[in-house]
Amino acid sequence: MNAEFRAPKGTFDLVPPRGEAMLAVREAMAAPLRSAGYGYIETPSFEETALFARGVGESTDIVTKEMYSFTTRGGDDVTLRPEGTAPVLRAVLENNLHRGALPVKLWYSGSYYRYERPQKGRYRHFSQVGAEILGTEDPASDAELVVLAVDAYRLLGLTGVRVLLNSLGSHESRPAYRAALQDYLRGLDLDEETKRRVELNPLRVLDDKRPEIQKALAEAPLITDFLSPSDRAHHETVRSLLTAAGVAFEDDPRLVRGLDYYTRTLFEFVHDGLGSQSAVGGGGRYDGLSELIGGPALPGVGWALGADRTLLALEAEGLALPGTTGVQVFAVPLGDEAAAWAFGLVTTLRREGVAADVATGGRGLKGAMKAADRSGAKYAVVVGERDLAEGVAQVKDLATGEQQAVSVNELVTHLKRLV
């Protein structure tokens, strides 16, 4: 490599054709949301550090180890966003969207940043599509989001995505479970950092992926044994709605996620073809998050789907990566007069919805035809000064080699029929 600079460790460049595939993945994830009436929202790439400390949770790995935080020249403490829910909720409150008709349904797409040990499927810069429903405690909203995510994966052709489902309960259930879990964990031989987590937020210990910790948790109490009647009813409604919608799911009473704001419904989308980093998306309900960041009571539920890991899942299933249709028509001008004419042709074709490109730089016929083949176009339009004088252009099928002369006055209509 001759370049002086490289992409920062743990990040990557998206270049064609993978960049086109990533764009197509994000569009496929957004398609079910758009059809369900979700509005698009976009927030800054950085926020006040306190937003994530309060919202995500000061005991989480994200806040304690993984955030890109810095002080601006003006003395403000800011952080590159490690997740999307807290910024979206902040924007909803700041712009008074919650004072209008409820629920508020939003979707977003962008880059997120976490300082982690780089490995396949886990990067320091990653892309997600997210969705949130704010202003309702209705379990139908929880089920709706799971269904929309499943539909997005199906739209991409994925068949190996599994849905894991759990309930973390609410303020009615959590205190008793927290106490029981702490009693159990205090009886284990744990390292000092894990012992500190036991006191701050024992659910974080359940999310510890170390084999020795998971083995020690084998007999830990389950939240599902502590659910209040209302929490249990909420969870059973979500389960029945998913079943009615034809969504298969697996009950996972040990499922937790690395964010403190979750309550009640929790879900994760996993793909076994990705190895240890099997999660391709996830989310859940966060009914108390608004109050944590200084807002009014505003229940919510949402998810984020990882575009990077979804690409890996597509590859694991041997599926062709999605992308744009590419160039359909490639113009090959021979001579200056033909070059000016060809420029006008491809401009017209593009405006008519036909993907088109043109050979530039005064290439000869052989070089221009090689460029046409590399473009992936189905047809080449070859035109020289003699053709223009006769009012025709040569349309060549690049797959069969067949060629025919077409009147320049009918050329655009002819090409639109072909493609």
Q: Are 112 and 128 in contact (CB under 8 A)?
A: yes
Q: Are 157 and 310 in contact (CB under 8 A)?
A: no
Computed on alpha carbons and rounded to an integer, the radius of gyration of the chain in Å comes to 27
Q: In what order do the strands lie in the sheet with 356-358?
A: 356-358, 329-334, 379-384, 392-397, 403-407
pLDDT(366) > 60:
yes
Q: Annotated binding site: which residue ranges? A: 83-85, 114, 128, 132, 257, 261-262
pLDDT(257) > 80:
no
Report, at the CATH architecture level, how domain 329-418 is classified.
3-Layer(aba) Sandwich (3.40)
Residue 22 or 4, more confident: 22
The residues spanned by each domain of the chain are 17-172+228-317, 329-418
Q: How far is Cα of residue 247 from the mean position of the Cα atoms in its chain?
A: 20
pLDDT tens by residue, 140-192: 999 999 999 999 999 999 999 999 999 999 989 988 998 999 999 999 988 88
Q: Are 89 and 268 in contact (CB under 8 A)?
A: no
Tell me if the pTM is above 0.95. Answer: no
pLDDT, the chain, mean: 92
Q: Which residue has the tokens 């952080």?
A: 79
Q: Annotated binding site for L-histidine: which residue ranges? A: 83-85, 114, 128, 132, 257, 261-262
11, exposed or middle or buried, with CB in 10 Å at 0-12, 13-18, 19+? middle
Domains 17-172+228-317 and 329-418 share a fold: no
Any idea which fold 17-172+228-317 has?
A: BirA Bifunctional Protein; domain 2 (3.30.930)
pLDDT tens by residue, 83-126: 999 999 999 999 999 999 999 999 999 999 999 887 777 889 99
For the record, the structure tokens of 335 come out as 């001579």
